[in-house]
Amino acid sequence: MRLLIGLLLALLPTPGLLAQDTLWTPLFNGRDLDGWEHVGEGRFVVEDGLLKTEGGMGLLWYTRQKFGNVVIRVVYRNPDGKNAGVFIRIPEPPTEPWMPVNRGYEVQIDDHGDDYHCTGVLYSLTKARARPSRPGEWNVMEITLDGPRTIVHVNGVLVTDYTEGDPVPPKKVWYEPDRGPRPLEGYIGLQNHGPDDVVYFKEISVRPLRRP
């Protein structure tokens, strides 16, 4: 009997492998841009299994589906705290990079901005509750889309918790996003901000939202 139980346990996956293999679905395969499309200036290239930004301003967006009620995990490295972003809630397939700015949300990657323009905030809309990013190192950003609520953790620390209708500061300059509601689900994308902003992405994955 003990031998039989031991054999059965050996056939079961370990909890860590189960979580990694079945809960998270990778959107970037580490080899090419299958499933992704670029709009705007510059481009993304695959280099040593990583996505690397070149030039900009442009947007690499995932074409195969919209996302809502999910957690999006992005593993990135921005040497010297450079500028990029993760776009969410894009309402329709983008043909240029500014529609997602004004009709979706940019979860900012930038370690030089103030508390409304730094890593983990909804760019210019929310104020950072913490600044846990580590310039030059690999960082893990998890973006939770829960109906009208958007929650952002960076390296396990809460940075943003925003629900549609919460007060936001007025738009101050032309390149900040238009104010107003965003859809409950949308396309996602990665920003290549400009020639001086080289940022690397190692993982873009999603998993269904699990409520308590």
Tally the domains of the chain. 1
Query: Residue-wise pLDDT tens for the chain (212 aa)?
Result: 444 434 343 444 433 333 344 599 999 999 999 999 999 999 999 999 999 999 999 999 999 999 999 999 999 999 999 999 999 999 999 999 999 999 999 999 999 999 999 999 999 999 999 999 999 999 999 999 999 999 999 999 999 999 999 999 999 999 999 999 999 999 999 999 999 999 999 999 999 998 76
Instruction: Return the HEC string of the chain.
Output: CHHHHHHHHHHCCCHHHHHHHHHCEECCCCCCCCCEEEEECCEEEEECCEEEEECCCEEEEECCCCECCEEEEEEEECHHHCCEEEEEEECCCCCCCHHHHHHCEEEEECCCCCCCCCCCCECCCCCCCCCCCCCCCCEEEEEEEECCEEEEEECCEEEEEEECCCCCCCCCCCCCCCCCCCCCCEEEEEEECCCCCCCEEEEEEEEECCCC
Domain assignment present for 41: yes
Domain assignment present for 177: yes
Domain assignment present for 26: no
**Total-model pTM:** 0.89
pLDDT of res. 22: 58
pLDDT of res. 17: 37
Domain assignment present for 170: yes
Domain assignment present for 15: no
pLDDT of res. 6: 42
CATH number, domain of 204, equals 2.60.120.560
pLDDT of res. 211: 73
Residue 89, phi-psi category: left (phi > 0), alpha (psi -120 to 50), beta (remainder): left
Q: Which domain holds residue 109?
A: 36-208
Domain assignment present for 151: yes
In whole angstroms, what is the distance from residue 160 CA to residue 68 CA? 17
Pairing of strands 187-192, 58-62: antiparallel
Domain assignment present for 11: no
Domain assignment present for 194: yes
pLDDT of res. 138: 98
Pairing of strands 84-90, 105-109: antiparallel
